[in-house]
């Protein structure tokens, strides 16, 4: 069953990224007028994971099946409780919640993916219809199941020649020959945060520690030569790839100063990001969002290599664009309209992806 099509949606978007910074929650108004989508932020919040939840999410890939399913329900209940707290005292009544979930497995080449956070439980706890599991249909259609945000880039941010998000991984989307294309570029915070944890820190704030280091030419050559970077889009990355392809290289340089390893990683990441964008967009404006834009050293490296104008928007859009876009994906699914593009993921066909758990009020 698909709900009656409306032109205005008050809804909640939930986003949890691989960098484990926390849960982004967005309450927004989405409007469809004259064949054009627009948005308005009503309120936003980030709920930082406590150590117990962070460790649970980190351990999810190695759990036994029963334990994983228990965590799936437990995390869904937690998500629902966060929405209830967020909405407390508000007059607005969301039509639906759209939840990205937390990525546990992403191996589309073997049709394997899993987003933690049971949509049934979110709906049950909140009493609000919930859209979740946005990736599975595309993966079953032989697609990458990622990135999914480019649909939002196309419908909400078409004034930009490309859109880049820098989070756990960096990804980009742009128009090419009248079609939206997108791909994951390279790991960023997923690697940086793991490296910096050796110093008891959660992040390299502003890139200050890496900025003090020296380049390690041999490490840079090895990172730049990883086979993934020569592959054509569509393509996507996940923690499995980092463990198999990226981290073994880093491990070989453990005897070097951490600041030197970080400096080399920044050089590699900035080059990969700039090169991929320059290949498709040599003029115009490129929108950068995600937590990575607060790493001023990394952004300075990218800006120096980028041909187009680098644009960083206001803080709200920087931090909550992905949660906003998942709200839009939920609205499109609610309407039974395409929210996953084969030109982006390489799937056999476009689809309207996501499981809807309707609550009858």
Token representation of residue 292: 């990575």
Distance of alpha carbon 228 from alpha carbon 249, whole angstroms: 14
pLDDT score for 1? 47
pLDDT score for 361? 64
Q: List per-residue pLDDT tens for the chain, 361 residues long.
A: 455 578 999 999 999 987 788 999 999 999 999 999 999 999 999 999 999 999 999 999 999 999 999 999 999 999 999 999 999 988 888 999 999 999 999 999 999 999 999 999 999 999 999 999 999 999 999 999 989 999 999 999 999 999 999 999 999 999 999 999 999 999 999 999 999 999 999 999 999 999 999 999 999 999 999 999 999 999 999 989 999 999 999 999 999 999 999 999 999 999 999 999 999 999 999 999 999 999 999 999 999 999 999 999 999 999 999 999 999 999 999 999 999 999 999 999 999 999 999 987 6
Domains 8-143+321-357 and 150-316 share a fold: yes
Backbone angles phi, psi at 82, to 5 degrees: -65, -40
Token representation of residue 323: 């949660």
CATH number of 150-316: 3.30.420.40
Give the start-end residues of each E strand in the chain: 8-16, 23-33, 36-47, 96-99, 102-107, 112-116, 130-132, 162-166, 169-176, 179-187, 285-289, 309-311, 355-357
Q: What does the angle CA 59 – CA 298 – CA 270 come to, to the nearest 5 degrees?
A: 90
pLDDT score for 359? 86
CB 136 within 8 A of CB 145: yes
What 3-state class would DSSP assign to 2?
coil
Domain ranges of the chain: 8-143+321-357, 150-316
Q: Which of 154, 158, 63 is nearest to 116 (CA)?
A: 63
Token representation of residue 267: 């050089």
pLDDT score for 302? 98
Token representation of residue 189: 């915070």
- pTM for the model: 0.92
Distance of alpha carbon 97 from alpha carbon 99, whole angstroms: 6
What pairs with residue 131 in β-bridges? Answer: 98, 356
CB 306 within 8 A of CB 172: no
8-143+321-357 topology per CATH: Nucleotidyltransferase; domain 5 (3.30.420)
For residue 7, what is the DSSP state? Answer: S
DSSP of 272-318? HHHHHHHHH-SSSEEEEESGGGG-HHHHHHHHHH-SSEEE---HHHH
Cβ neighbourhood burial of 247 (10 Å; 0-12, 13-18, 19+): middle
Token representation of residue 91: 């007059």
Q: 358: number of CA atoms within 13 Å, CB side? A: 8
């Amino acid at each position: 069953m698909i709900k009656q099509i409306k032109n205005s949606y008050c809804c909640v978007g939930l986003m949890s990224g691989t960098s484990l910074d926390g849960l982004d929650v967005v309450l927004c108004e989405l409007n469809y007028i004259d064949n054009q989508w627009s948005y308005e932020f009503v309120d936003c919040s980030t709920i930082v994971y406590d150590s117990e939840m962070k460790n649970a999410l980190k351990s999810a890939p190695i759990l036994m099946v029963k334990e994983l399913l228990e965590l799936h329900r437990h995390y869904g209940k937690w998500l629902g409780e966060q929405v209830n707290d967020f909405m407390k005292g508000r007059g607005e009544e969301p039509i639906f919640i759209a939840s990205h979930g937390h990525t546990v497995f992403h191996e589309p080449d073997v049709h394997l993916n899993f987003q933690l956070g049971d949509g049934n439980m979110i709906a049950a706890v909140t009493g609000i219809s919930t859209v979740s599991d946005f990736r599975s249909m595309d993966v079953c259609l032989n697609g990458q199941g990622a990135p999914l945000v480019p649909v939002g880039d196309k419908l909400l941010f078409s004034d930009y020649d490309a859109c880049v998000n820098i989070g756990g991984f960096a990804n980009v989307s742009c128009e090419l020959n009248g079609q939206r294309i997108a791909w994951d570029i390279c790991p960023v915070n997923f690697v940086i945060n793991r490296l910096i944890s050796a110093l008891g820190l959660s992040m390299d704030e502003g890139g200050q520690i890496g900025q003090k280091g020296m380049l390690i030419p041999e490490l840079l050559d090895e990172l730049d030569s990883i086979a993934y970077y020569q592959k054509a889009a569509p393509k996507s990355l996940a923690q499995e790839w980092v463990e198999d392809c990226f981290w073994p290289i880093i491990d070989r340089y453990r005897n070097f100063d951490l600041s030197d390893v970080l400096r080399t990683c920044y050089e590699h990441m900035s080059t990969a990001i700039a090169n991929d964008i320059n290949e498709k967009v040599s003029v115009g404006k490129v929108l950068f969002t995600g937590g990575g834009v607060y790493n001023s050293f990394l952004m300075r490296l990218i800006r120096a290599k980028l041909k187009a104008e680098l644009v960083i928007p206001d803080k709200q859009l920087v931090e909550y664009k992905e949660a906003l876009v998942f709200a839009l994906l939920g609205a499109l699914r609610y309407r039974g309209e395409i929210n996953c593009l084969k030109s982006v993921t390489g799937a056999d066909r476009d689809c309207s992806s996501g499981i809807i758990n309707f609550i009858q009020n």
